[in-house]
Structure 1
Protein backbone atom coordinates (compact mmCIF):
# COMPACT_ATOMS: atom_id res chain seq x y z
CA UNK A 1 0.00 0.00 0.00
CA UNK A 2 2.87 2.33 0.75
CA UNK A 3 4.37 1.98 -2.75
CA UNK A 4 0.95 2.73 -4.25
CA UNK A 5 0.55 5.90 -2.19
CA UNK A 6 4.06 7.08 -3.03
CA UNK A 7 3.48 6.39 -6.74
CA UNK A 8 0.12 8.16 -6.70
CA UNK A 9 1.68 11.20 -5.08
CA UNK A 10 4.62 11.10 -7.51
CA UNK A 11 2.35 11.28 -10.56
CA UNK A 12 0.51 14.21 -9.01
CA UNK A 13 -2.80 12.50 -8.29
CA UNK A 14 -4.72 15.47 -6.90
CA UNK A 15 -7.75 13.33 -5.99
CA UNK A 16 -5.84 10.97 -3.75
CA UNK A 17 -7.93 11.85 -0.69
CA UNK A 18 -11.23 10.92 -2.30
CA UNK A 19 -9.68 7.91 -4.02
CA UNK A 20 -8.54 6.55 -0.66
CA UNK A 21 -12.20 6.29 0.33
CA UNK A 22 -12.89 4.32 -2.84
CA UNK A 23 -9.91 2.04 -2.14
CA UNK A 24 -11.16 1.40 1.41
CA UNK A 25 -14.59 0.52 0.02
CA UNK A 26 -12.97 -1.83 -2.49
CA UNK A 27 -11.06 -3.45 0.37
CA UNK A 28 -14.28 -3.93 2.30
CA UNK A 29 -16.00 -5.45 -0.74
CA UNK A 30 -13.18 -7.71 -1.97
CA UNK A 31 -11.16 -8.35 1.16
CA UNK A 32 -7.82 -7.04 2.33
CA UNK A 33 -5.73 -9.72 0.61
CA UNK A 34 -7.36 -9.12 -2.78
CA UNK A 35 -6.97 -5.36 -2.40
CA UNK A 36 -3.29 -5.65 -1.49
CA UNK A 37 -2.67 -7.95 -4.46
CA UNK A 38 -4.44 -5.47 -6.75
CA UNK A 39 -2.40 -2.58 -5.34
CA UNK A 40 0.79 -4.56 -5.90
CA UNK A 41 -0.23 -5.18 -9.53
CA UNK A 42 -1.16 -1.52 -9.97
CA UNK A 43 2.30 -0.48 -8.78
CA UNK A 44 3.95 -3.00 -11.14
CA UNK A 45 2.12 -1.44 -14.10
CA UNK A 46 2.38 2.14 -12.76
CA UNK A 47 -1.38 2.60 -12.51
CA UNK A 48 -2.18 4.82 -9.55
CA UNK A 49 -5.89 5.61 -9.77
CA UNK A 50 -8.74 3.98 -7.88
CA UNK A 51 -10.39 3.12 -11.21
CA UNK A 52 -7.27 1.16 -12.17
CA UNK A 53 -7.40 -0.85 -8.96
CA UNK A 54 -11.13 -1.45 -9.49
CA UNK A 55 -10.37 -2.82 -12.98
CA UNK A 56 -7.67 -5.08 -11.62
CA UNK A 57 -10.06 -6.44 -8.99
CA UNK A 58 -12.74 -6.94 -11.64
CA UNK A 59 -10.30 -8.96 -13.78
CA UNK A 60 -9.71 -11.25 -10.83
CA UNK A 61 -7.23 -14.06 -11.08
CA UNK A 62 -7.71 -14.34 -14.84
CA UNK A 63 -5.20 -11.57 -15.53
CA UNK A 64 -1.70 -12.78 -16.36
CA UNK A 65 0.98 -12.18 -13.78
CA UNK A 66 4.15 -10.44 -14.97
CA UNK A 67 7.32 -12.42 -14.60
CA UNK A 68 10.95 -11.44 -15.10
CA UNK A 69 12.50 -12.42 -18.40
CA UNK A 70 13.91 -15.92 -18.50
CA UNK A 71 16.71 -17.41 -20.51
CA UNK A 72 16.80 -17.19 -24.29
CA UNK A 73 14.74 -19.75 -26.14
CA UNK A 74 16.97 -21.51 -28.66
CA UNK A 75 15.29 -23.70 -31.25
CA UNK A 76 16.52 -25.72 -34.21
CA UNK A 77 14.40 -24.31 -36.99
CA UNK A 78 13.80 -26.19 -40.24
CA UNK A 79 15.88 -25.19 -43.25
CA UNK A 80 13.89 -23.79 -46.15
CA UNK A 81 15.08 -24.16 -49.72
CA UNK A 82 16.36 -20.99 -51.33
CA UNK A 83 16.25 -19.82 -54.93
CA UNK A 84 18.16 -17.25 -56.86
CA UNK A 85 16.50 -13.91 -57.54
CA UNK A 86 16.65 -14.83 -61.25
CA UNK A 87 13.86 -17.32 -60.54
CA UNK A 88 11.56 -14.35 -59.95
CA UNK A 89 12.56 -12.48 -63.12
CA UNK A 90 9.64 -11.48 -65.30
CA UNK A 91 10.17 -12.18 -68.96
CA UNK A 92 7.78 -11.13 -71.67
CA UNK A 93 5.78 -13.91 -73.28
CA UNK A 94 6.11 -14.50 -77.00
CA UNK A 95 3.10 -15.98 -78.83
CA UNK A 96 3.33 -16.58 -82.59
CA UNK A 97 6.36 -14.31 -82.80
CA UNK A 98 4.55 -11.44 -81.04
CA UNK A 99 5.65 -10.16 -77.61
CA UNK A 100 2.76 -10.02 -75.17
CA UNK A 101 3.24 -7.79 -72.16
Structure 2
Protein backbone atom coordinates (compact mmCIF):
# COMPACT_ATOMS: atom_id res chain seq x y z
CA UNK A 1 0.00 0.00 0.00
CA UNK A 2 1.36 3.37 -0.96
CA UNK A 3 0.17 6.91 -0.58
CA UNK A 4 1.93 10.10 -1.61
CA UNK A 5 1.41 13.80 -2.09
CA UNK A 6 3.63 16.85 -2.53
CA UNK A 7 5.02 16.64 1.03
CA UNK A 8 5.29 12.96 1.93
CA UNK A 9 5.56 9.53 0.39
CA UNK A 10 4.16 6.76 2.56
CA UNK A 11 4.33 3.02 2.25
CA UNK A 12 2.68 0.41 4.46
CA UNK A 13 4.00 -3.11 4.47
CA UNK A 14 2.27 -6.30 5.49
CA UNK A 15 1.16 -7.24 8.96
CA UNK A 16 3.96 -7.34 11.49
CA UNK A 17 4.28 -10.06 14.12
CA UNK A 18 3.93 -7.62 17.02
CA UNK A 19 0.30 -6.66 16.46
CA UNK A 20 0.65 -2.89 16.80
CA UNK A 21 1.73 -0.30 14.20
CA UNK A 22 5.35 0.81 13.89
CA UNK A 23 6.76 3.89 12.19
CA UNK A 24 9.94 4.38 10.18
CA UNK A 25 11.06 7.87 9.12
CA UNK A 26 13.29 8.97 6.25
CA UNK A 27 13.99 12.70 6.12
CA UNK A 28 17.16 13.16 4.10
CA UNK A 29 19.53 16.11 3.87
CA UNK A 30 18.20 16.70 0.36
CA UNK A 31 14.82 17.49 1.89
CA UNK A 32 16.06 19.63 4.79
CA UNK A 33 19.62 20.89 5.00
CA UNK A 34 19.65 21.62 8.73
CA UNK A 35 19.23 19.02 11.45
CA UNK A 36 16.81 21.34 13.23
CA UNK A 37 14.45 21.32 10.24
CA UNK A 38 14.72 17.53 9.82
CA UNK A 39 13.96 16.98 13.50
CA UNK A 40 10.96 19.36 13.33
CA UNK A 41 9.47 17.31 10.49
CA UNK A 42 10.12 14.07 12.36
CA UNK A 43 8.39 15.43 15.48
CA UNK A 44 5.33 16.40 13.44
CA UNK A 45 5.12 12.97 11.78
CA UNK A 46 5.55 11.14 15.10
CA UNK A 47 2.84 13.22 16.78
CA UNK A 48 0.42 12.61 13.92
CA UNK A 49 1.23 8.89 14.07
CA UNK A 50 0.50 8.82 17.82
CA UNK A 51 -2.93 10.38 17.27
CA UNK A 52 -3.88 7.87 14.58
CA UNK A 53 -2.15 4.79 16.01
CA UNK A 54 -5.30 3.03 17.30
CA UNK A 55 -6.86 2.99 13.82
CA UNK A 56 -3.75 1.87 11.91
CA UNK A 57 -3.70 -1.82 12.82
CA UNK A 58 -0.61 -4.01 13.14
CA UNK A 59 1.33 -2.74 10.13
CA UNK A 60 4.74 -1.20 9.59
CA UNK A 61 4.69 2.26 7.98
CA UNK A 62 7.57 4.12 6.35
CA UNK A 63 7.23 7.88 5.83
CA UNK A 64 9.64 9.68 3.50
CA UNK A 65 9.77 13.45 3.32
CA UNK A 66 9.81 15.21 -0.03
CA UNK A 67 11.46 18.42 -1.10
CA UNK A 68 9.23 21.33 -0.09
CA UNK A 69 8.04 19.88 3.21
CA UNK A 70 10.30 22.26 5.17
CA UNK A 71 8.53 25.39 3.94
CA UNK A 72 5.11 24.26 5.21
CA UNK A 73 3.72 25.01 8.64
CA UNK A 74 2.68 22.25 11.00
CA UNK A 75 -1.06 22.66 10.35
CA UNK A 76 -0.64 21.92 6.64
CA UNK A 77 1.56 18.92 7.40
CA UNK A 78 -0.87 17.53 10.01
CA UNK A 79 -3.69 17.79 7.47
CA UNK A 80 -1.66 16.01 4.79
CA UNK A 81 -0.65 13.27 7.23
CA UNK A 82 -4.22 12.81 8.45
CA UNK A 83 -5.41 12.28 4.89
CA UNK A 84 -2.71 9.65 4.31
CA UNK A 85 -3.28 7.78 7.57
CA UNK A 86 -6.97 7.46 6.67
CA UNK A 87 -6.12 6.30 3.16
CA UNK A 88 -3.64 3.68 4.39
CA UNK A 89 -5.78 2.46 7.30
CA UNK A 90 -8.97 2.14 5.27
CA UNK A 91 -8.31 -1.11 3.37
CA UNK A 92 -6.77 -2.78 6.43
CA UNK A 93 -9.58 -2.10 8.88
CA UNK A 94 -10.62 -5.20 10.79
CA UNK A 95 -13.85 -6.74 9.53
* Relative contact order higher in (CA < 8 Å, ≥ 6 apart): 2
Greater per-residue strand proportion: 2
Greater per-residue helix proportion: 1
Same fold (TM over 0.5): no
TM-score (normalised: structure 2): 0.34
Higher Rg of the two aligned structures: 1
